[in-house]
Chain A
């Protein structure tokens, strides 16, 4: 029985992750918890005092509105960050992927292994947030078990397209811009902290074509039983679409770089 090629690549990432897992998990965990306490509990107390807000928030408290969305935003942030410097490192600085490419592994298999690793790492970060949500009565739900894989899919919808892009860079100079101009605006305006319907009309379609909003809607619907997630099939199709397109782009980009 031979080990699947993607798993062999995954083993490398796991072995290296074992040395840094503490700081990664802490970061992936602490940040959403701070938002949960600061925004969900703190700002939430003000929001919930306004009777009109509850209607806008689908009839739930601000805490219940925000908390499940943090599963999706954590997935996006985790997937986005590991797709930048870490991927570029493998090609430009450590040449890890060139080393793999001189073994029986092919560029596409290396890309698949990276995708598997992204999924693992996002799942770890999301599971930590889900564990925190399970501590609060409002978000303690079997739906968390469903929300975790949905959030992982959301993370991959970012991680794979970004990895395809960063694997073709010559350096990391443009990476902070991805965080500042793509990930953070989506985090703030993608429907996690307030409904997209509150955005100016011209901006709303932007939220609908980006993956994060779809992931947030699904996570919220899964965790809070009274909230309707909307067209579930469309949400999933959009997320799968981004992830698959990203994986195909990774195959092309990895092959170009590793088999000139």
Chain B
């Protein structure tokens, strides 16, 4: 039997304008307790603006937003005291040591020093930075700084954690370490809300996500749900010589369910990629390269917006 509990975040008709520019154009979503919820979209889609409104550091232009059943306009302080934030730009104190960063941040929440120190030991262990505790932040690698930013966001033992592009700019190994830590947090029951423009990250971390484009929500569902709904099981990617994409693609009519013509390749959406490729060869079309892969959220995004997620 499903446990019925109030959503952590409810937004309806949520809108953010900066002068004439509409950053978030009336979106509706709900985040449930313990869930891992993602905003997927390209740069400029309105993800960060939405996150900042949830974080109570940006005023809602119109529409309604409720977090923990509270109103950000009037109860911002209480909401922020129960929330952790990992910003895109770490925002660490570079001159301070790793543990001083946690201590001083805990003090903003008025957590007593002794308690801050106790939590710091546990948190540095959790993000695997114990051996760096007394080192300056500045020389740490990007992945370590991000882990420290996560540890810092947990100092107030938040019920809700906001992560804005948690792995942007990190190398693959650092990303996997980070995903592992976030997964453990989720298992502890922390509600995660994150933005990303990486589909693999969304697939790894999100129970449910919304695809955002130009300030609007284009689709909502679980990653597999969205792939089933908006894409085929497999994708055949064909590469042709420069400038031949268009002319060659014209010969592929009727193969698979749908085509996407990208500047550097042609995508054929098909239930069975091998069959589609045999058909391509049978028609005498000879691509420079071909690749059969499973559909991803990238394909969902392409279908919904007609554009690639990362240009």
Q: A11-B104, A104-B109 are in contact. Are A96 and B58 (CB under 8 A)?
A: no
B55 CB–A CB distance under 8 Å: yes
A201 CB–B CB distance under 8 Å: no
| A98 contacts across to B, CB distance below 8 A | 57, 87, 91
A260 CB–B CB distance under 8 Å: yes
Complex Cα distance, B78 from A95, in Å, reads 22
**Interface size, chain B (Cβ < 8 Å):** 28
B93 CB–A CB distance under 8 Å: yes
Q: Per-residue 0/1 for B65-98: is the Cβ within 8 Å of any A Cβ (1 yes, 0 no)?
A: 0000000000011101100010101011111100
Q: Which residues of chain A (120-178) have a CB below 8 Å from chain B?
A: none
Complex Cα distance, B101 from A100, in Å, reads 12
Residue in A3, A16, A106 whose beta carbon sits within 8 Å of that of B96 in the complex:
A16
Complex Cα distance, B108 from A180, in Å, reads 36
Nearest Cβ on chain B to A94's Cβ, whole angstroms: 6
Complex Cα distance, B210 from A113, in Å, reads 39
Contact B109 A258 (CB under 8 A): no
Contact B91 A94 (CB under 8 A): yes
Q: With CB as the reference atom, state the residue of chain A lying closest to B77.
A: A104
| B85 contacts across to A, CB distance below 8 A | 102
Q: A15-B96, A259-B58, A260-B59 are in contact. Are A103 and B105 (CB under 8 A)?
A: yes
Residue in A11, A102, A260 whose beta carbon sits within 8 Å of that of B107 in the complex:
A11
Q: With CB as the reference atom, state the residue of chain B lying closest to A17.
A: B95
How many residue pairs link A and B with beta carbons under 8 A? The number is: 67
Complex Cα distance, B77 from A2, in Å, reads 14
Contact A96 B91 (CB under 8 A): yes
| B78 contacts across to A, CB distance below 8 A | 104
Q: With CB as the reference atom, state the residue of chain A lying closest to B49.
A: A260
Q: A103-B80, A258-B57 are in contact. Are A94 and B94 (CB under 8 A)?
A: yes
Nearest Cβ on chain A to B257's Cβ, whole angstroms: 44
Complex Cα distance, B156 from A105, in Å, reads 13
| A2 contacts across to B, CB distance below 8 A | 110
Q: A95-B87, A102-B87, A260-B58 are in contact. Are A8 and B108 (CB under 8 A)?
A: yes
Nearest Cβ on chain A to B134's Cβ, whole angstroms: 13
Residue in B18, B95, B109 whose beta carbon sits within 8 Å of that of A16 in the complex:
B95
B100 CB–A CB distance under 8 Å: yes
Q: With CB as the reference atom, state the residue of chain A lying closest to B89.
A: A95
| A260 contacts across to B, CB distance below 8 A | 18, 58-59
Complex Cα distance, B136 from A245, in Å, reads 38
| A105 contacts across to B, CB distance below 8 A | 108
Nearest Cβ on chain A to B270's Cβ, whole angstroms: 46
A26 CB–B CB distance under 8 Å: no
A19 CB–B CB distance under 8 Å: yes
Complex Cα distance, B92 from A258, in Å, reads 17
A12 CB–B CB distance under 8 Å: yes
| B95 contacts across to A, CB distance below 8 A | 16, 19
Q: A98-B87, A259-B58 are in contact. Are A103 and B96 (CB under 8 A)?
A: no
| A96 contacts across to B, CB distance below 8 A | 91, 93
Complex Cα distance, B57 from A105, in Å, reads 11
Contact B58 A99 (CB under 8 A): no
Q: Which residues of chain A (61-99) have a CB below 8 Å from chain B?
A: 94-96, 98-99
A101 CB–B CB distance under 8 Å: yes
Residue numbers of A with Cβ under 8 A of B are: 2-3, 8-9, 11-12, 15-16, 19, 94-96, 98-106, 258-260
If A99-B105, A104-B77 are given as contacts, then 13 extra A-B residue pairs at C-beta distance below 8 Å, sorted by A number, are A2-B110, A8-B110, A11-B104, A16-B96, A94-B94, A100-B108, A101-B57, A102-B80, A103-B156, A104-B78, A105-B108, A258-B57, A259-B57
